[in-house]
Chains A and B, each alone.
Chain A
């Protein structure tokens, strides 16, 4: 997929509302399917410029949550506000500001790509005079320039996924909710989608779910983990940059490690190492290395803890009820 910087998107209905920093706020969301509780007391806040990585095991309730936030499903409890509009009482205004890609792209496979995108734009209130520009921009952004005149059913899985992403962004929404947007894409396309999401997030709020933790680590500014219908983690994504693994020839006591400037926490790792939570910048690492050397601990390894998110995820989602 070729991502073009493109021209600045024209503001249309539902365009980014610069008057609010919090673009989406959900409080106390609950949802049951029969006797099964799918969601309980879920709070989610999305701010402008933020990419929220939404993680959870299969069946945890991610898609249900995203459907509710997108207005495609009604919650049994709680409320959702999008750009200040209550999704239930003022649903129409709220939905203008939302772009949603469900887990399975919602495509009419007997339509041409161009026709389908034009329909999506019209349904989201794009004015007739802006229609051609909106379709062209979405096609360019999602690398669909060469397939605009093709029937959707004749496209590969990857291209269909791109059409799904294009329909979600065609009306330039303030809030984007993308349920597994990289499903079916090859590694190059995944990289391009990541870059597109980063670009889109500059003036919007984006929520992305995926099972690929590496993707979230690179993309998200904040990570929320859902387990058995409840949010069990919601914090800034500083695991990749701030968490490091260190090993020493003469390992000190954990309390001594914690006393080093810039270290927030240290947990032992084997006999000679620690996983430490450090300030998220290179100078903090250099300062730590200098301190360890000065203390004579014999620093022999200092690496990013790439497994931190995976460990966190596995720990929080362990003991899942069937």
Chain B
């Protein structure tokens, strides 16, 4: 069955690469990140004396990866919105139900397909600051933990996007729901600022979970949180797909 999942993932990825929307999203995303990176580097060069104390890692790398994670809040919903909602709207989801694929296989194939494209996006995003290794004392450890944080953040948001796509037959509605949930998870951190007693809620903010990675710390609790959240969203997606076989 892994062969069939691979075939579905490969086909999904290929179809995404053919979609104008995906190219527009990727081009805008990469363009924005490139522009932001250039501004950070120019600002560093112009204020080198003042920023030298914090170093290029703090002055360029950390804001860059914060922006990359924020960008993923927009990119992931747009790239996942069609994955299941579009198939349901076009009637092809029912075709997948008639194949030997189970709900988990379908979700696995969809996840693999979307990760193919988002993986290419993330690769280009993380390669940009890597150019600073030539000529600056960029901290390789902090760079690596930020890459890991972005990868986990991407996995979680792609999984969330797939779940939202399984909720409806309207891709735009799926993207909006995913965006709202993503923003809510990001901003949960603010609950702590408003009320320190709400720290147990704030601990589940994606912003809070990324903080360690951005500072160069790898916490198994943070990794486990992202992996478990991704698995939860994927399991819910599989349940929604399975229920759809019975409901529609």
Q: What is the interface of chain A, defined by CB distance below 8 A to chain B? A: 67, 70-74, 91-93, 95-96, 98, 100, 102, 104, 106-108, 110-111, 115, 119-120, 122-125, 128, 167
Shortest A116–chain B CB gap in Å is 8
The answer to whether B100 touches A102 (Cβ under 8 A) is no
Q: B15 within 8 Å of A by Cβ? A: yes
Shortest B21–chain A CB gap in Å is 11
Shortest B224–chain A CB gap in Å is 32
The answer to whether B99 touches A107 (Cβ under 8 A) is no
The answer to whether A115 touches B11 (Cβ under 8 A) is yes
Q: Whole-angstrom distance between the alpha carbons of A123 and B101 in the complex?
A: 7
The answer to whether B99 touches A102 (Cβ under 8 A) is no
Interface centre among A91, A102, A123 (most CB of B within 10 A): A123
Given A95-B100, A110-B19, A123-B8, also A74-B91 (CB < 8 A):
no
Find A123's partner among B4, B94, B245 (CB 8 Å cutoff): B4
Q: Whole-angstrom distance between the alpha carbons of A67 and B248 in the complex?
A: 11
Given A70-B98, A72-B97, A123-B8, also A111-B15 (CB < 8 A):
yes
The answer to whether B95 touches A106 (Cβ under 8 A) is yes
The answer to whether A73 touches B97 (Cβ under 8 A) is yes
Q: Which 9 pairs show the lowest CB-CB distances between chains A and B? A: A106-B95, A122-B7, A74-B246, A72-B98, A72-B97, A95-B100, A123-B99, A100-B98, A70-B98
Given A71-B97, A74-B246, also A104-B91 (CB < 8 A):
yes
Shortest A207–chain B CB gap in Å is 13
Q: Whole-angstrom distance between the alpha carbons of A104 and B87 in the complex?
A: 13
Shortest A91–chain B CB gap in Å is 8
Q: B120 within 8 Å of A by Cβ? A: no
Find B4's partner among A70, A71, A110, A125 (CB 8 Å cutoff): A125
Given A106-B92, A107-B92, A110-B18, also A119-B7 (CB < 8 A):
yes
Q: Whole-angstrom distance between the alpha carbons of A67 and B246 in the complex?
A: 11
Q: Whole-angstrom distance between the alpha carbons of A104 and B92 in the complex?
A: 9
The answer to whether A108 touches B92 (Cβ under 8 A) is yes
Q: Whole-angstrom distance between the alpha carbons of A110 and B7 in the complex?
A: 16
Q: Whole-angstrom distance between the alpha carbons of A96 and B99 in the complex?
A: 7
| Sample of 5 A–B contacts (CB below 8 Å) | A67-B94, A70-B98, A110-B19, A115-B14, A120-B99
Not counting A71-B97, A95-B100, a sample of 15 additional A-B residue pairs whose C-beta atoms are within 8 angstroms of each other reads A72-B97, A72-B98, A74-B245, A91-B102, A92-B100, A93-B100, A100-B95, A102-B91, A108-B15, A119-B7, A123-B96, A123-B101, A124-B99, A124-B100, A125-B100
Given A110-B19, A111-B11, A124-B100, also A73-B3 (CB < 8 A):
no
Find B98's partner among A71, A104, A108 (CB 8 Å cutoff): A71
Q: Whole-angstrom distance between the alpha carbons of A124 and B96 in the complex?
A: 10
Shortest A217–chain B CB gap in Å is 28
Shortest A296–chain B CB gap in Å is 61
Q: Whole-angstrom distance between the alpha carbons of A71 and B101 in the complex?
A: 11
The answer to whether B8 touches A119 (Cβ under 8 A) is yes
Closest A-chain residue to B106, C-beta based?
A123
- What chain A residues lie within 8 Å of B7 (beta carbons)? 119, 122-123
- What chain B residues lie within 8 Å of A122 (beta carbons)? 3-4, 7
- What chain B residues lie within 8 Å of A125 (beta carbons)? 3-4, 100
Interface centre among B91, B98, B245 (most CB of A within 10 A): B98
Closest B-chain residue to A151, C-beta based?
B18
Shortest A267–chain B CB gap in Å is 43
In chain B between 18 and 59, which residues have their CB closer than 8 angstroms to a CB of chain A?
18-19
Given A102-B91, A123-B7, also A72-B245 (CB < 8 A):
yes
The answer to whether A110 touches B15 (Cβ under 8 A) is yes
Q: Whole-angstrom distance between the alpha carbons of A71 and B100 in the complex?
A: 9
Shortest A118–chain B CB gap in Å is 8
- What chain B residues lie within 8 Å of A128 (beta carbons)? 3
- What chain A residues lie within 8 Å of B246 (beta carbons)? 73-74
- What chain A residues lie within 8 Å of B18 (beta carbons)? 110
Find A96's partner among B11, B19, B91, B100 (CB 8 Å cutoff): B100
Closest B-chain residue to A92, C-beta based?
B100
Shortest A52–chain B CB gap in Å is 18
Closest A-chain residue to B246, C-beta based?
A74
- What chain A residues lie within 8 Å of B248 (beta carbons)? 73
Q: Whole-angstrom distance between the alpha carbons of A167 and B100 in the complex?
A: 14
Interface centre among A93, A96, A119, A125 (most CB of B within 10 A): A119
